[in-house]
Structure 1
């Protein structure tokens, strides 16, 4: 029996994402890199309605999708009035173990955009809050 493509390439995909983010953001370890990716995905998820969570999650690779949905408890989305507010919340999420690297929001959005197939990238973009969509468009 053959494995579905998502399963077959899951480890390769997350390893590629981590290597690319680690290099771009100049992070020291894979643990820091993974924590930043997970923190970003969870902070983003907290700001999306259920339809947008489903849209976004459906266009992530298998492991990244699992990370995105990890520990999710559905609720009302948090407001995202500006990038500074999003990044302050992300910094709090990463503490006390990791001090948020400068530009990590931009770096993670670059990662997701550059590592996704064009169709998936377009769908991912549609799910983003406006504040993050502006950053996405600039990376």
Structure 2
């Protein structure tokens, strides 16, 4: 029996994403890169409707999809009025273990954008909150 592509390459995919984020954001360890990725994905999730959570999550690779949905309880979306508000919430999520690296939101979006297939990346961008769409477009 053959393994689906997503399953076969799941570990390679998350390792590539972590390494790309570690290099781009000049992070010290893969653990920090993973924590930043997870925190970012959870902050995005908090700002999406249930339908958009499904749209976004279904476009992520297998392990990243699992991280995105980890500990999720459906709730009304938190408004995303500015990038600054998003980053304040992300910084609070990462503390006390990690002090948020400068520009981590842009760095994570860059990884998502460059490590995803172009069609998938375009679909992911469509459901991002507007301040993050603007950041994505500037990358």
TM-score, scaled relative to structure 1: 0.99
Structure 2 distance, partners of 1:123, 1:50, is: 16
Partner of 1:100: 100
* SS of equivalent to 1:45: helix
Structure 1 distance, partners of 2:110, 2:60, is: 14
* SS of equivalent to 2:97: coil
Does residue 125 of structure 2 align to residue 125 of structure 1?
yes
Structure 1 distance, partners of 2:12, 2:127, is: 25
5+ long unaligned stretches in structure 2 = none
5+ long unaligned stretches in structure 1 = none
User: 1:52-91 maps to which residues of 2 (within 5 A)?
Assistant: 52-91=52-91
Structure 2 distance, partners of 1:102, 1:94, is: 13
Task: Spell out structure 1 runs of 4+ moving beyond 2 A.
Answer: none
Structure 2 distance, partners of 1:12, 1:68, is: 17
By how many angstroms is 1:23 displaced?
A: 0.1
- Deviation digits for residues 82-105 of structure 1 (CA, Å, limit 9, x no counterpart): 000000000000000000000000
Structure 1 distance, partners of 2:60, 2:112, is: 8
TM-score, scaled relative to structure 2: 0.99
Q: How many residues align?
A: 139
| Aligned CA-pair RMSD | 0.4
Structure 1 distance, partners of 2:63, 2:29, is: 19
